[in-house]
Amino acid sequence: MITAGSLSVVSNQKNVCVIVYSIFLFSNFADAGGFDSLLQQLPELGVFRKIFDSRIELNVMDYGAKGNGIEDDTKVFADVWDMACSSKVESRIIIPDGSYCLVKPISLGGHCHSKVTLVPCRHAPTAITFHRCNNLVVKNLMIVNGQQMQMAFTTCDTVAVSHVSVFSPASSPNTDGIHISESTNVEIKDTTVRTGDDCISIVSNSSKVQVRRIVCGPGHGISIGSLGKSDTCDQVYDVSVQGAFLSNTENGLRIKTWQGGSGFVRNVTFEDVWMQNVSHPIIIDQYYCDSDKPCPNKTSAVNVENISFVNIGGTSATMEAIVFACSDVSPCEGVYLEDVEIVSAFGGVTTSFCWQVNGSTAGYVYPPICYSTCKSFIKQTISSATNLQAI
């Protein structure tokens, strides 16, 4: 929930002119040391809560948002976003506490001239897509929607997401909680996702993604992919998931690729994850087929290599707790398991399934892994350099 409703251009035209003028003055006098005196001379601007140290704060209520959860605020939010994105200085979009902003599915695009931080009200029933955004911060957001992807980042660079809650019914299809596509330097932390599809999905040419302290369930778990559909070339690399709790999900930690694709999934670490009643806790599937008809066998595949599962525990809702179904023409290489214990949620035994996979283990691993291990394999490490600014 978040827009401009019935806001007219005429009603805000004067304020917009003042904003542009103020920024122009700042850009010309700040370097000359006259900014402090200039700031004292500025009039009170209703559209700004604060102007300080080269940062502006834009309150959507000042632009006509109703914030009552009934009237549509989508246009207002889009207008304020455009203003923040075009600003030459850092901007914060504010939706005050106690507001219930109704925003319909919306796409917010870049490239923005400077860093934009979205600090919305706690209740925002909508689906939001950020496209071509750089230096974006999103925090303290609740999204409630049962129709489509909840929050998506496409072609973005340097994104920090924290303290976000996403809710949609367990029965709702194609409602990925947070979707990352063609983006790099993305951090997601301290977030809860309850949905009918992937809690977090990382696809098509994304890299340097860090996921920290995530609660997921219900849903389809944390997924890389699907990749390689319709014989496309996809690359995903340098992904780190550390600290997650998954409950009553269809999958836990999953990599899924289509036959016929090309490219690679490389340098991925899943670490410190606890699962409760998860149907397929650990799964690599290079035969993914999301179709009513059987998918044809093909002779190419997206390569999967250097994948680590470290300190993973919990309960499985099925007997087969670990599945590595890899390609005949491009086997999975460098799969590493350390201190993994996944037992049955119903008191029985759990098993593993392996096909065309090579790797190694360390510490206690249960269920016993079914591939032959290579003692010379050295655990891969993931670079944590994401160039993210502190939130």
pLDDT digits (tens, 9 = 90+) for 260-295: 999 999 999 999 999 999 999 999 999 999 888 889
> The domain that contains 203 carries what CATH number?
2.160.20.10
pLDDT digits (tens, 9 = 90+) for 160-186: 999 888 888 888 777 788 999 999 999
Is there a domain that residue 109 lies in? no
Is there a domain that residue 38 lies in? no
Number of domains in the chain: 1
Is there a domain that residue 114 lies in? no
The boundaries of the domain holding residue 249 are: 184-383
Return the pLDDT at 257: 97
Is it the case that residue 365 has pLDDT exceeding 90?
yes
pTM for the full model? 0.76
Is there a domain that residue 378 lies in? yes
Does 169 sit behind a cis peptide bond, omega within 30 degrees of 0 on the bond before it? no
Does 331 sit behind a cis peptide bond, omega within 30 degrees of 0 on the bond before it? no
Is there a domain that residue 96 lies in? no
Is there a domain that residue 291 lies in? yes
pLDDT digits (tens, 9 = 90+) for 40-95: 443 343 443 444 446 788 888 889 888 777 788 888 888 888 888 888 888 888 87
Render 119-173 in DSSP notation, one character per residue.
E--SB--S-EEEES-EEEEEEEEEEE-SSS-SEEEES-EEEEEEEEEEE--TT-T
CA gap 255, 147 in Å, rounded: 24
Is there a domain that residue 60 lies in? no
CA gap 173, 227 in Å, rounded: 19
Percentage with pLDDT > 70 across the chain: 77
Catalytic residues: 197, 220
Query: Strand, coil or helix: what is 157?
Result: strand
Is there a domain that residue 170 lies in? no
Q: What are the structure tokens assigned to 262, written together?
A: 């090309």
Amino acid (1-letter code) at residue 159: V
Burial 234-264 (b: 16+ CB within 10 A, else e): bbbbbbbbbbbbbbbbbbbbbbbbbbbbbbb
